């Protein structure tokens, strides 16, 4: 068996092959094929049109040259409608109905020589049946379709069937008029013979054109068989309602075949238009690529999260979380609506919170049947920092009745300095306790808010409230006593210091509760500062983390991380003493004494600070959200 | 390639796609009609001719038909939520 052995050209002593660019076959692209297809089709259409036009012109000429004749001259006893005329032509070989507006029955000039009177009558009756059925008009339909779909076998077959059925329907009419079936069949055969002879003569004289009376042997056989079949009931479907059901089915099927996105080209164009409209910069191709990728990604990621478990699902969720595209938020919402898994839903609420999907969170906070998830959504909404959050909080306030939730909303609005929000929820509130809390927030803002403008507005608002109270004669009314303070949290066990990393690690290993996790994180933060390990802080600090430094300056997460990388300051040791932890499973406050030893410009230095850290648990992990650092004296 | 040629090529390409789509639709529709006629054995030539007529008319007018409103997923965006 011969084998093909590939030997490098150099080894085989052959000249080196030409570069890939030279020998690579040129790939045909769709953009090149489609115009070629259209060009071929157009050429075919012109060819068919030319052929049809030629036949029509010849037939029209034959018609003009034909000699008008009456039925009496032909010895026929039939009646002829006034709208039609008869003519004898030497150029046609079998009877034919010609014309649309002024139809003419053209007969061979020697018809009387090869037919009997009864056969002639049957032939003329056949043509009159065409006229009565308006076949000269309906014949335009297959004519047009044959031009457009000259390449389409099924359309051509359907057109042939249409014509055959038309002829057979006329045959049935002729027989129903009382003509003898055998005589009529004889006339059909004679006409066919004349046709064939005529065709041969036309071929010989190079003037082939043939009006369609009979088209093929099979068609003739079928027609004669049907004509001679005496046991057949020649029922004519004159009642139009026979057509309702099959016609409706055909229409329904055709309707289903017309899709919303009509053609690939139109679909593509629409996508291009959409993409171009939505993005003003960037190349259109790039935009379109992104657009199509987004759509595919959306479907794939949603499907993956809903239909898989484990690592694959986590990857898909992570990708959605990390995506900068807006649709990722919508995808998370869709997954939430479709899944029944509580754990997944819980994670999704966290993700939605991170992506600031206030609208979806508001919906969940008000209408989620599961209490735990509802509370979680409320919590995320309260934690969220975005421009449109106030509106969502006010809507939430109006939707919920729980005092605890309302209290949280008031406090949250107060922290943000949202006077308008406080005013709105104040109007909604009937509970005197919450009303008082609202007022307290305003008072705090009027006196202590860092923004002077906010302070002034709060003072104005309070003054207005006071005036309203006076006008309502409510001055001096005793406010209800403030709610009792919550029971003090049991102080978590705190070791005296966190200066031994191994001891803290052991503590966490023995009892991995939230307090020990926070302790471990505090210790690790000190070690990470010494190592200049910014990765730890990237994860451990919340994106909205803020630190108030020893001089009262406010630092963001990025600024804090930048300080850790400061080239001129090198921390050598960080001690954490006098640690006190307060909080619960979701939030924790850590107060401690921090001592940092560092080298600055080669000099050893030390600083001791009192630190208050705020940590909250997000998606099962703890993160710093704020710190306050002050020098100790 | 000048803009006129480019526009012409785009038009021709789209026309070819439309023609192919139309052919495919015609094929499915006529195949179903043919199968229906075979299955139900319609005996009257006139009725058969009428059914072919409706089918051919449907084929001819297919490009003019309004687009069906079968449910299609709209492209989602974040604005729906936020």
Alpha helices in A308-388, H assignment, sequence order:
310-322, 327-338, 342-354, 358-367, 371-383
Please tell me the distance from the alpha carbon of residue A488 to that of residue A365, in angstroms, as a whole number: 28
pLDDT at A42 over 90: yes
Q: At what angle do helices A342-354 and A358-367 cross, to 10 degrees?
A: 140
In the predicted model, what is the mean pLDDT of chain A? 78
* pLDDT-based confidence at residue B82 (cuts at 50, 70, 90): very low
Instruction: Name the residue with tokens 């690939």.
Output: A264
CB within 8 Å of A202: residues ≥ 6 apart: A208, A209, A210
**Which residue reads 């009387």 in tokens?**
A112
ipTM computed for the complex: 0.83
- B77 lies within 8 A of chain A by CB: yes
What does the radius of gyration of chain B's CA atoms come to, in whole angstroms? 20
With a cut of 80, say whether residue A437 has pLDDT above it: yes
CB distance A266 to B73 below 8 Å: no
Whether residue A8 is predicted with pLDDT greater than 50 in this model: the reply is no
Q: Which residues contact A290 (CB under 8 A, 6 or more apart)?
A: A275
Name which of B7, B34, B76, B79 to mutate to probe chain A: the one with the most chain A Cβ atoms within 10 A of its Cβ: B76
Please state, in angstroms and rounded to a whole number, the distance separating the CA atoms of residues A291 and B32: 37
Q: How many angstroms separate the CA atoms of A444 and A460, rounded? A: 13
pLDDT at A47: 94
Q: Do B26 and A298 touch (CB under 8 A)?
A: no
Residues 6+ apart with CB under 8 A from A110: A90
- pLDDT score of A35 more than 90: no
Domain borders along chain A are 30-238, 286-386, 503-631
Convert the pLDDT of each residue in A268-320 to its tens digit: 556 556 655 554 444 555 554 555 566 667 777 888 888 777 777 888 888 88
CA distance B6 to A52: 33
C-alpha–C-alpha distance, residues A202 and A548, integer Å: 106
A260/B69 CB distance under 8 A: yes
Interface touch B68/A38, C-beta < 8 Å? no
Statement: residue A579 has pLDDT above 70 = yes
Segment A208-240, tens digit of pLDDT: 434 344 456 778 888 888 888 877 666 655 566
The helix/strand/coil state of A68 is strand
To which residue do tokens 């975005």 refer? A386
| Sole residue written with tokens 């710190």 | A627
Euclidean distance between CA atoms A106 and A128, whole angstroms: 12
**Per-residue pLDDT at A505:** 77
pLDDT tens digits for range A396-419: 888 888 888 888 888 888 877 788
Cβ–Cβ gap B62/A35 under 8 Å: no
* Chain A CB within 8 Å of residue B32 CB: yes
Residue with tokens 């291009």, as numbered in its chain: A272
B4-60 pLDDT, tens digit each:
777 788 788 888 888 998 999 999 999 999 999 988 887 788 888 999 999 999 999
| pLDDT band per the 50, 70, 90 thresholds, residue A425 | confident
| Predicted pLDDT of residue A69 | 85
C-alpha angle A282/A271/A303, rounded to 5°? 100
Of residues A30 and A275, more confidently modeled: A30
Half-sphere exposure of residue A620, counting CA atoms within 13 Å on the CB side?
Answer: 6
The beta-carbon contacts of A296-300 under 8 Å, at least 24 apart in sequence, are A298/A327, A298/A330, A298/A331, A298/B76
Nearest CB among B17, B27, B54 relative to A250 is that of: B54
Residue A22 has pLDDT above 60, yes or no: no
Number of Cβ within 10 Å of residue A345's Cβ equals 20
State pLDDT tens for residues A317-366.
888 887 777 778 888 888 888 888 888 888 889 888 888 888 888 888 88
B12/A182 Cα distance (integer angstroms): 55
pLDDT band at A253 (very low <50, low <70, confident <90, very high): confident
Lowest mean pLDDT among A49-63, A257-271, A510-524: A257-271
- For residue A50, name the pLDDT band (cuts at 50, 70, 90): very high
Cβ within 8 Å, pair A243-B56: no
Q: Which CATH architecture has domain A503-631?
A: Roll (3.10)
Query: Parallel, antiparallel, or unpaired for β A569-583 and A541-548?
Result: unpaired
Residues 289-318 of A with CB under 8 A from B: 295, 298
Q: What is the pLDDT of residue A12?
A: 41
């Amino acid at each position: 068996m011969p084998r093909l052995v590939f030997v490098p050209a150099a080894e085989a002593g052959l000249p080196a092959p030409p570069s890939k660019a030279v020998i690579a076959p040129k790939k045909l692209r769709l953009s090149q094929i489609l115009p070629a297809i259209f060009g071929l089709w157009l050429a075919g259409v012109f060819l068919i049109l030319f052929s049809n036009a030629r036949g029509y012109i010849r037939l029209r000429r034959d018609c003009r040259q034909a000699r008008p004749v009456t039925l009496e001259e032909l010895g026929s006893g039939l009646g002829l409608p006034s709208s039609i005329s008869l003519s004898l032509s030497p150029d046609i070989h079998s009877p034919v109905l010609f014309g649309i507006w002024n139809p003419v029955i053209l007969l061979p000039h020697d018809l009387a020589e090869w037919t009997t009177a009864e056969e002639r009558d049957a032939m003329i009756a056949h043509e009159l049946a065409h006229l009565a059925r308006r076949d000269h008009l309906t014949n335009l339909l297959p004519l047009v379709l044959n031009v457009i779909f000259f390449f389409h076998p099924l359309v051509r077959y359907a057109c042939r069937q249409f014509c055959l059925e038309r002829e057979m329907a006329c045959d049935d009419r002729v027989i129903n008029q009382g003509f003898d079936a055998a005589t009529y069949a004889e006339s059909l055969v004679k006409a066919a013979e004349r046709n064939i002879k005529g065709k041969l003569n036309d071929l010989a004289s190079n003037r082939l054109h043939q009006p369609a009376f009979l088209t093929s042997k099979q068609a003739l056989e079928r027609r004669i068989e049907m004509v001679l079949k005496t046991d057949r009931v020649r029922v004519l479907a004159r009642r139009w309602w026979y057509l309702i059901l099959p016609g409706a089915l055909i229409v329904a099927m055709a309707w289903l075949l017309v899709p919303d996105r009509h053609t690939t080209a139109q679909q593509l164009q629409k996508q291009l238009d959409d993409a171009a409209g939505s993005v003003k910069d960037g190349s259109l191709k790039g935009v379109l690529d992104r657009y199509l990728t987004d759509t595919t990604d959306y479907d794939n990621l949603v499907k993956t999260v809903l239909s898989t478990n484990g690592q694959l699902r986590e990857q898909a969720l992570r990708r959605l979380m990390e995506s900068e595209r807006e649709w990722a938020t919508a995808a998370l919402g869709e997954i939430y609506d479709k899944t029944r898994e509580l754990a997944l839903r819980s994670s999704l609420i966290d993700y939605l919170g991170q992506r600031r999907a206030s609208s979806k969170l508001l919906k969940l906070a008000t209408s989620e049947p599961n209490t735990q998830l509802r509370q979680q959504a409320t919590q995320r909404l309260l934690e969220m920092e975005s421009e449109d959050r106030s509106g969502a909080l006010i809507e939430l306030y109006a939707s919920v009745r729980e005092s605890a939730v309302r209290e949280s909303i008031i406090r949250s609005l107060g922290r943000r300095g949202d006077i308008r929000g406080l005013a709105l929820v104040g109007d909604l509130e009937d509970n005197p306790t919450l009303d008082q809390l609202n007022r307290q927030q305003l008072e705090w803002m009027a006196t202590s808010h860092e923004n002077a403008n906010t302070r002034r507005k709060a003072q104005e608002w309070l003054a207005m409230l006071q005036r309203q109270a006076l006008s309502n004669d409510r001055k001096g009314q005793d406010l209800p006593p403030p709610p009792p303070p919550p029971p003090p949290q049991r102080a978590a066990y705190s070791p005296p210091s966190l200066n031994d990393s191994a001891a803290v690690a052991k503590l966490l290993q023995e009892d991995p509760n939230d307090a020990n996790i926070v302790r471990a994180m505090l210790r690790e933060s000190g070690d990470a500062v010494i190592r200049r390990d910014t990765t730890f802080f990237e994860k451990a600090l919340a994106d909205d983390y803020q630190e108030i430094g020893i001089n009262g300056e406010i630092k963001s997460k990025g600024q804090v991380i930048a300080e850790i990388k400061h080239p001129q300051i090198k921390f050598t040791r960080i001690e954490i003493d006098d640690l006190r932890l307060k909080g619960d499973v979701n939030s924790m406050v850590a107060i401690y004494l921090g001592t940092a030893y560092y080298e600055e410009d080669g000099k050893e230095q030390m600083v001791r600070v009192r630190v208050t850290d705020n940590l909250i648990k997000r998606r099962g992990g703890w993160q710093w959200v704020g710190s306050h650092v002050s020098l100790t004296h | 390639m000048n803009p006129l040629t480019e526009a012409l090529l785009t038009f021709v390409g789209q026309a070819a796609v439309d023609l192919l789509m139309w052919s495919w639709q015609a094929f499915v529709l006529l195949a179903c009609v043919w199968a229906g006629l075979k299955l139900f054995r319609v005996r009257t030539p006139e009725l058969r001719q009428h059914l072919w007529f409706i089918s051919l008319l449907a084929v001819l007018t297919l490009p003019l038909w309004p687009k069906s409103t079968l449910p299609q997923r709209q492209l989602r965006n974040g604005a729906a939520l936020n």
